[in-house]
Amino acid sequence: MINGERAFVSAVRKYCASHGIDVELKAEGWLIVMTRGSSRRFAFGYDLGLNSAVAHRIANDKAATADVLEICDIPCVPHTAFLSPRMYKYIVPTGAWTAMLDLLKQNPQGLVVKPNEGTGGISVFKVRTEPELEVAANEIFSSERSLAISPYVEIEDEVRVILIDYRPIAVFSKNRLAVVGDGKRSVLELAIATIPAARLSSVLSGQAGDISKASLDEVPPAGRRHALNWRHNLGAGAQAVVLEQGDARAAACIEIAVKAARSIDMRFGSIDVVSVDGAWKVLEINSGVMMEALNRSHPELVDAAYAAALDLVFDPGTNA
């Protein structure tokens, strides 16, 4: 997608057009300059500038986020950061690899390895063996300065809460693509027969390791639901389903999301909350609010969320 065609840019343009604000795109669409009279504001990437630099840096660092949440006694999925060998001057003498292997031994169910800074589910690996861990680490370190490792947990449900000044603006679950077995056809055959080609393609064309050939060849028993992907990322084929006000899941997720946002003084951001063994935990915090996938099904909600944030950008006294 061309940067200037992002839903974020479209929403900013709509808001500015209705409020007499001039808009200019720079840096191939990543930098947006908004001018009204003598007042000038900037947006970069998906950041509107409402959060402090410290809040933004913590939210952008998965391990730092987990550390803060643990300090504040907020349930979360733990993340441990490891620096690339290129950063050898800052690595403890024992090295990172030994510590990574120790985590693997401590978590026989597996680990999730991902860039410590980054969004969108890019370069996220589930590993269970030392060779798999080595491949994942090398892949990530080829382009990143650090990675984060968390224990693999069976996520029963994942919900994203978007907050502005600790008030929910949008709450939606991330529903993974799945098929229901008939006892006769393989997972792949069921998927081809029941899932629209565009959505199925987004999963089957994902990164190596997300879906194994053995998984696709499996024949699920009749009536059993089989998720096609272990990840809940919208970019990996999951569908955004908005939760209505009064939904019990929404209320529980909003409560923990607000605590998480307050722990780092984040005014505008999204919090991913997951259900593990029946308990809600924070998975990640994002200070840059990206809603490209949600825009495909609920563009009016996306425009309203960004408009509420822009109200605060241009009129700080506004109650979002």
The residue-averaged pLDDT of 118-127 equals 80
Nearest to 248 by CA among 157, 187, 140: 157
Rounded CA-CA distance 280/259 in Å is: 13
Judged by average pLDDT, the poorest of 197-201, 296-300, 311-315 is 197-201
How confident is the model over 146-176, as pLDDT tens digits? 999 999 999 989 999 999 999 999 999 988 7
At residue 109, the pLDDT reads 93
pLDDT at 209: 46
Is a pLDDT exceeding 50 seen at residue 15? Answer: yes
Q: Give residue 234's pLDDT band: very low, low, confident or very high (50, 70, 90).
A: low
Q: How far apart are alpha carbons 74 and 136 in whole angstroms?
A: 29
Q: Which pLDDT score is estimated for 232?
A: 63
> How crowded is residue 62: how many other Cβ atoms within 10 Å of its Cβ?
27
E strand residue ranges, 222-264: 225-227, 239-242
Domain over 78-152 is classified CATH 3.90.226.10: no
DSSP string, 144-211: -SEEEEEE----SEEEEEEEETTEEEEEEEEEPPEEE--SSS-HHHHHHHHS-HHHHHHHHTS-TTSS
User: Over 80: is that where the pLDDT of 100 sits?
Assistant: yes
Residue ranges, CATH 3.30.1490.20, the chain = 78-152
3-state secondary structure of 88: helix
pLDDT at 212: 61
Confidence of residue 87 (pLDDT cuts 50, 70, 90): confident
Is the model's pLDDT at 207 over the cut of 60? no
What is the signed CA dihedral for 22, 26, 30, 32, rounded to 10 degrees? Answer: -20
Q: Which of 150, 83, 80, 76 is nearest to 111 (CA)?
A: 150
Between strands 146-151 and 80-83, the pairing is: antiparallel
